[in-house]
Structure 1
Amino acid sequence: MTTGPDDPGSTGTSKDDKERTGAAQSSAEESGTSLDEQRAAGGESPETGARPASMGGEVPVAATRTRSGMFGVRGTGDTSGFGGLRLPGYAPAPAERPYGGWFDEMADELGAAMDQNGIPRAAIEQVTVDRGEITFYVQREKVAEIARTLRDDPGLRFEFCSAVSGVDYSSPDGAPVDKSLHVVYHLLSMTYRRRIRLEVSLNFDDPHVPSVVETYPTADWHERETWDMFGVIFDGHPALTRILMPDDWDGHPQRKSYPLGGIPVEYKGAEIPPPDERRAYS
């Protein structure tokens, strides 16, 4: 006999006094603080790239920088028409409590679960709330342990990893940016209808991070694509091979250091070079 979550004999999968599967979704509009409130809670304006006083005024994990042009072309001219484009640098300020909505409850549950599993709370380097979404920046050495805790703890139940992706925060003008290679994990709790992100920052000269395939089998293909496109090495992955490019391909095409346009395109004897090798028209 099948019983519902409210039947006396039902064991259910959710906490008895909390939102159950199938309840109204905790949408971005219903959770988290507004952008203005978050900037106030985070201290300095995001454009400054400064952490609040409680974090020692350190630079955020994701540094800000001004973006110019559309494709990062330098030196040879930009024939795209976007050469004069200037966009202000932006990175959300690190968040401070209260985060708003269910974020505080979830953060408390995560902290308690980390204590129970012997994971130091310092493994969470930064928390950011922006546009109704919460991101936990974690130490790379602890990402696999934190992922397993998020999946297995009954108060968290993030059962599904929907994506693993890479981001290259290198400055287009070549200015140094510390730990500019990031790995982002998108996690979903189907039990509580909640979404969060984990983010790990790396240096290009040491792009290693533990694999989470043992916890989330679907991450197998996502980690392979992140290795293929960004060169992130997922230690412990069962078969870290290319998934989009040929096995003998040289380089990782979505790094900003990769030649723009890739390889020249040939049309019946006429060769179209990559955009960064074309001459400028004025």
Structure 2
Amino acid sequence: MSAAVEKVQAQFPDEIVEIYEFRGDTTIIIKPEKIVEICTLLRDDRETSFRYLSSVAAVDYLPASPRFAVVYHLYSHRYKNRVALKAFLEDDAYPSIHSVVPVWSAANWHERECYDLMGIQFRGHPDLRRILTPAECEAYFPLRKEIPVRGL
């Protein structure tokens, strides 16, 4: 078991939904409410040292419910390992989660992209606005699965 899994299990046992490994990579599925606290733990703990946020991605699991998830890919240069945190968002109509920009400033544009293309609201984000599509594309999130692939 990795140090990341052990730390999250020890300090946030009620926040873990599932832990699995695929091709050597560990994913911890967590409840979204404590995302900032869990990310801070994994960044600051000397035994984990996940100082690098590789990416933040939003996933649309339509027709499943909960429909949306946000995935955080973390890397530790010190220990040369990685872990993914995945949080399923409760509200399918208005999915939201706390911003991790206070933990990793690199999350800023990643979260803006997730908002722009999937409509995920990042509560507490310092500048949550569109980054790729025109500002006038209100209520249009092109990577959501209800958007037709061929023509509009």
Q: For this structure pair, what is the TM-score category when the shorter chain's length is used for normalisation?
A: over 0.9
Q: Name the amino acid aligned to 1:216.
A: W
- 1:131 is aligned, of 13, 19, 23, to 23
User: RMSD of the TM alignment (CA)?
Assistant: 1.4
Q: Which residue of 1 aligns with 2:82?
A: 195
Any idea what SS the aligned residue of 1:191 has?
Answer: coil
Q: Which residue of 1 aligns with 2:126?
A: 238
Q: 1:260 Cα shift?
A: 2.2
Calculate the TM-score normalised by the size of structure 2.
0.92
Q: Which residue of 2 aligns with 1:108?
A: 6
How many residue pairs are counted as aligned between the two chains? 150
Distance 2:29 2:9 in 1: 14
Q: Which residue of 1 aligns with 2:44?
A: 152
Q: Which residue of 2 aligns with 1:259?
A: 148
- Structure (1/2) with the larger strand percentage: 2
Any idea what SS the aligned residue of 1:137 has?
Answer: strand
Q: Which residue of 2 aligns with 1:170?
A: 62
Q: Which residue of 2 aligns with 1:141?
A: 33
Distance 1:158 1:257 in 2: 35
Q: Name the amino acid aligned to 1:252.
A: F
Q: Name the amino acid aligned to 2:8.
A: L
- Does the alignment pair 1:249 with 2:147? no
Distance 1:228 1:106 in 2: 30
Distance 2:4 2:111 in 1: 26
Calculate the TM-score normalised by the size of structure 1.
0.51
Q: Name the amino acid aligned to 2:87.
A: V
Percent identical among aligned pairs is 36
Provide structure 2 residue ranges, at least 5 long, that are not aligned to the other structure.
Answer: none
Question: Which digits, 9 at most, give the CA deviation of each residue in 1:67-124, with x for residues without a partner?
Answer: xxxxxxxxxxxxxxxxxxxxxxxxxxxxxxxxxxxx3444223334x2xxxxx31111
Q: 1:199 Cα shift?
A: 0.5
Asked if the contact 1:227/1:233 (under 8 Å) is kept, the reply is yes
Question: Which digits, 9 at most, give the CA deviation of each residue in 1:35-63, with x for residues without a partner?
Answer: xxxxxxxxxxxxxxxxxxxxxxxxxxxxx
Distance 2:5 2:60 in 1: 27
Q: 1:133 Cα shift?
A: 1.2
Q: Which residue of 2 aligns with 1:94?
A: none
Any idea what SS the aligned residue of 1:215 has?
Answer: coil
Any idea what SS the aligned residue of 1:229 has?
Answer: helix
Distance 2:49 2:39 in 1: 10
Question: Which digits, 9 at most, give the CA deviation of each residue in 1:19-43, with x for residues without a partner?
Answer: xxxxxxxxxxxxxxxxxxxxxxxxx
Distance 1:194 1:121 in 2: 22
Any idea what SS the aligned residue of 1:206 has?
Answer: coil
